[in-house]
Each structure stands twice: as structure tokens, then as C-alpha cells.
Chains A and B, each alone.
Chain A
Amino acid sequence: MDAESYTDLVPLIFIAVVFFTVAVGALYWSSKRGQLRDFDKQARTIFTDEEPEGEVSDSFPEKK
């Protein structure tokens, strides 16, 4: 089926509006929840007790 006019694409335009709203909502949410603050602390969340900060965690396998 060919799309004959813009009105055939209304569902897509609707989805586009939803996507745009989600994106703006995500930015708003992130600012509201403090995601855009305390950057130094946030950068450290990837380290754990098992793989702590200050330790290189990957190297070539050694010959035994």
C-alpha cells in the first residue's frame, strides 16, 4: 500500500511526538534526580569491592 498523503503518516507522527516527549522527560528526570550533580562521586560508582579503584584489572595471560 502506498502512502498517498501526509495524513497516512499520522500514526508515525504521533510516535515521533511520543519519542520526543520521552527524550525531554529523560533530561528533566535526570536533572530532577540529581544525576547532573556531584560528578566526582558519580564517576566512582563503577568500582566495587571485587574490582576496586586503584587496581589494574586486566593484563595479558601469563605463561605458566
Chain B
Amino acid sequence: MMPKSYNYNPYSSPSDAVKAELSEIDASIRSAAIFFVISAIGWLMLGTIFALLAAVKSHSPDFAGAYEFLTFGRVRSAHLNSMALGWASNIIFAVGLWIMARLCRAPIQHKGILLIAGIFWNIGLTVGVFGILGGDMTSVEWLEIPRYATPLLAFSYTLIGVWGVIAFRFRKGDHVYVSQWYILAALFWFPWLYVVAQVMIIWFPVRGVVQSVTNWWFAHNVLGLWFTPMALATAYYLIPKVLGRPIYSYYLSVLGFWSLAIFYNWAGIHHLIGGPIPVWLISAGIVASVMMVIPVIVVGINHHMSILGMHKQVWRSPTLRFVVFGAISYTLVSLIGSSMALRTVNEITHFTHFTVGHAHHGVYAFFTMIMFGGVYYMMPRLLKCEWPSAGLIKIHFWGCAIGITIMVVALQVGGWIQGMEMKNAEIPFLEIVQNTIPWLKARSVSGIFLTAGHCAFALNLFWMLFAAGALRAKEGPTLLVNKEKVNSIV
């Protein structure tokens, strides 16, 4: 037994003043979280349309080419920003802040501010994406949003991020769980990245190649210090939570967090291998990229050992199907990424579709799949009702799992062949370009699977939101878990 004065767990605390009910916390964040989920899905669907357009255009350039705003350059950037700042960041605000509130055991205060900040974030983004389509985009990858929209984004982010910090400040209990570390750190890292990149590239541009160094430091860290920690926080919360068994080694999870914090921010420079920047800078980036093997292996072992012997329960849980798919992808994509940072490998993969495949492997197969899992766990608890259709969840899972697998395999195999051919001076460049076409067509096919998955997800969610009341009234209050069934397999 723990001494009373140093109680780690306020949920089970005998004192009512300290005790906080999960359902009460869920209720306090309901309106804001649902707003963010709806926005995220809106951006996901829009980003999917842009993605399909860009994918088809890459092998059939004449497709929908009659309109300026549908040209490849604009549609591709609109896709990137819709997904990175629209889908990914909105779903982070929903799932990440919800987990933060639960772990802080503090019902949220001033939820109106959170909601208003969220509305401004989405307005800023809408203006930005329209600006991109309208031809106002900057020429900087990952920072394409025109400068008239970015201050609004930065401002509304601040309000949202500060809210997470406030929740942490008023937490109950002494212990900070590893997910809170990840979320809190990411809430600090993202504004730092965004503001520095905006200042040094857009507002007060530094000279020459320093811009490109800043650019890739930023772009890679959006993945490494914003998406990754949020997805890992979700996995570290949901895997033990759903299985009802603590994480295999809490020690390893802390080690994983601090080693990620130390190494990841250096890694982005590997995008400039062979570029006209100081060699020591590139070498430092390569070393950091390879050092990332430590947190990745640590997290991979920890997650694997945590589900060992409970594979059936994982498969029976919609949440964990997605989360575990994402966790496995994290190990794979990160190890591939570390090897891609080696100069000899990079000679082949640089400037090919291999990199595009790698980016989707990370942001989609890892991050997005885990966030889908988070939504499957969060929504029933916020709305106090069950998902209406198990079939749609399965379509969602298989559509996304098959789609992203086809995409990553096609782009990486095709990209590797492309890289090998480009190293051979005897093959004409145009022939190499033509050889990529079958692989690019495979990517368009993968887009159809992904679109089917996203449609099933959106349908299930809106069904739940707008028809759930009717369902509930008819059948009485639903249990979130069919306990007999679960007990029979345990």
C-alpha cells in the first residue's frame, strides 16, 4: 500500500475532494473535442480529394488540367496543408487534449476559449488553403500557407496550446504519466518550430542556404516533435488502457521519451545530404538520425511486450487494431528512415518517390492510424453511446490498411528502381520518368482504398453524432463493452 500522503492515484483516493471521475472530465471537454473531430474529418475528406487529384495527375498530367487552381503544384500543396494542419492538428487537439485532461484528472476550465480558438484555427486554415489554390502560396515546402493567414494560425494555436499547459498546471495527483510528458513537450515544441521557421524564412528571411536548413529542420520536426509525440502519447495511453494491463516497462517508456527529446530535433538535416551546406552539419544530422534507433527500439519493445499474449483482445478492439497497426508502422518507418539517412543509401533514395512513400508511411501508417484508434475509443465515452456499425469500422480498417500498404510498397519499390536508374548515366532521363508510371498508377489505386476507408469512417461518425440519440432512446442506455463476451475470451 502507498502512504496516504503520497497518493499516486486520485481516481481511487478515499477523499472525495481529490477524487475525480473520468465521466465528469469527459463531459467537460465534450463540445470542444467533438468540434475538433468534425473539423478534422472535414479536412481529411478534403485532403483526400486533393490527394486523389495530385496522384492521378502525376501519371496523367492532362487530368483536370484546364483550371489554374487544379494544377499539380497547387493541389499537392493544398493536400499537404489540409492533412498536416487540418486533419492531423485538429485530431491532435481532440485526442491529445482529451488524454491530457483525463491524465491530469482535472475537468477543463474555460472551454469556450478552447472552442473559439479552434474556430479561428480552422478559419485561418481555410483562408490559407484557399490562398494556396488561388496562387498565393510561398515556395517553401511545409510552409506554403500565404503570410496573411499564418498570424491567425499562430495566435489561435497559442490559445489552444496554452490550454493544455493550464490543464497540466491544475492537475491532481503527483505523478506525471509518460503520455503527459509527450503531450506537454509537443505543445511546447510545435509553436517554437512554427514561429522560428516563419520568422527566419517568411518574415525576416535569412540568407541563402540557411533558409533551406531552417526549412528542413522545421519540416522534419513537424513530424518528429509534433505528430510523433502525440501519436506515441495516444499509444502509451490506449494500449494498457484497453487491455487493462499496465505498460510492460514504465522505465523504458521514460527512456524513450527523453532520448526522442534529445535526438529527434537534429535529424531533419538529413534532407540536405549532398546539399551546399557545411558537411559537419549534415554529419550531425546523420548521427542523430541513426541515434533515433534507440527511442524507436525502446518504444517498439515496450509496445510489443505490452500486448504479448493478448493478441485476441487486440484484434477484437477497433481501437487497438488501429493503434497496434500504427505502433508496428512506427518501428518500421523509423528504422527505414534511419537507414535512409546514411549517405550511401541516400544517394539512391534522394529525389525519388522513395521519400514520398516514406513520408506517407510515417504520417499515415503510423500517426493517422493511431489517431483513428484514439477516435474510436474517445467518441463513445464523450457521447455515451456505442458506434452504430461494426461493419463500417471494418471497412475503415481494411480500406486504410490495404491502401497504405499498397502505397508505401509501390512508392518505395518504384522509388528504389528510379534511384538506381538515375545513378546509371546510360539510361536517358525520360525513360526513367516513364518507368515510374506503373508505380504511380499503383499509388492512385491505393488512393481508392484509402478513400473508401475514410468515407466509412465519416459515415459512421456522423451516424453516431446525429442518429445516436434515436438509437439510444429505442434500445435503452448502451454498454460500451459487452462484458460477458470479453470475459469469455479472457
Residues of chain A having any CB pair with chain B under 8 Å:
1-3, 8-9, 12, 15, 19, 22-23, 26-27, 30, 33-36, 38-64
Interface centre among A2, A38, A46 (most CB of B within 10 A): A46
A and B contact pairs by CB, cutoff 8 A, 13 listed? A2-B204, A2-B207, A3-B207, A12-B196, A35-B176, A41-B2, A46-B240, A50-B11, A55-B481, A58-B318, A58-B481, A61-B390, A64-B475
Is B386 part of the binding interface, using a Cβ–Cβ cutoff of 8 Å? yes
- Smallest CB–CB gap between B85 and chain A, Å? 22
- Bound-complex Cα distance A18 to B185 (A): 14
User: Known: A3-B205, A43-B246, A43-B250. Is A57-B174 also a contact (CB below 8 A)?
Assistant: no
Q: Using CB atoms, name the residue of chain A closest to B20.
A: A48
With A48-B11, A48-B12, A50-B22 already in contact, the answer to whether A57 and B244 are too (CB < 8 A) is: yes
With a 10 A CB-CB cut-off, give which of A1, A41, A45 has the most chain B CB atoms.
A45
Residues of chain B having any CB pair with chain A under 8 Å: 2, 8-9, 11-12, 21-23, 103, 173-177, 181, 185, 188, 192, 196, 199-200, 203-207, 237, 240-247, 249-251, 253-254, 258, 261, 313, 316-320, 376-377, 386-390, 393, 475, 480-483, 485-486, 490
Question: Could you tell me if A36 and B254 are in contact, using CB atoms closer than 8 angstroms?
Answer: yes
Q: What residues on A are CB-neighbors of B199 within 8 Å?
A: 12
A45 near B177 with CB under 8 A, answer yes
Cα–Cα distance between A13 and B280 once the two chains are bound (Å)? 20
Main secondary structure of the interface of A (DSSP, over half): loop
Q: Known A15-B192, A42-B250, A56-B486; judge A50-B244 contact (CB<8 A).
A: no
Known: A2-B205, A56-B243. A50 touches B23 (CB 8 A): yes
Q: A3-B207, A61-B390 are in contact. Are A46 and B22 (CB under 8 A)?
A: no
* A56 interface neighbour in B173, B206, B313, Cβ under 8 Å: B313
Complex: A9 Cα to B367 Cα, angstroms: 34
Taking the nearest CB of chain A, how far is it from the CB of B288, in angstroms?
A: 16
Q: Tell me the bound Cα distance from A20 to B125 in angstroms.
A: 30
The 7 closest A-B pairs by CB, nearest first: A48-B11, A39-B250, A43-B250, A43-B246, A58-B317, A60-B390, A55-B244
Residues of A within 8 A of B319 (CB): 58
On chain A, the residues within 8 Å of B245 by CB distance are 53-54
- Give every chain B residue within 8 A of A9 (Cβ-Cβ): 200, 206
Residue in contact with B316 in the complex, picked from A12, A34, A47, A60, CB distance below 8 Å: A60
Cα(A3)–Cα(B188), bound, Å = 26
Closest to A59 in B: B316
User: Known interface pairs A27-B258, A57-B481. Does A46 touch B241 (Cβ–Cβ under 8 Å)?
Assistant: yes
B481 near A34 (CB under 8 angstroms)? no
Closest approach, in angstroms, between the C-beta of B472 and any C-beta of chain A?
Answer: 12
User: Closest residue to B196 on the A side, CB-wise?
Assistant: A12
- The residues of A that contact B207 with a CB separation of less than 8 Å are 2-3
Tell me which residues across on chain B come within 8 A of A2, comparing CB atoms. Answer: 204-207
B residues in contact with A59, CB < 8 Å: 313, 316-318, 481-482, 485-486
A62 adjacent to B242 (CB under 8 Å): no
Chain B residues, Cβ within 8 Å of A3: 200, 204-207
Indicate the member of A2, A30, A47 with the most B CB atoms within 10 Å: A47
Cα A62 to Cα B243 with chains together (Å): 19
Contact, CB under 8 Å: A62 / B482: yes
Contact A47 B480 (CB under 8 A): no
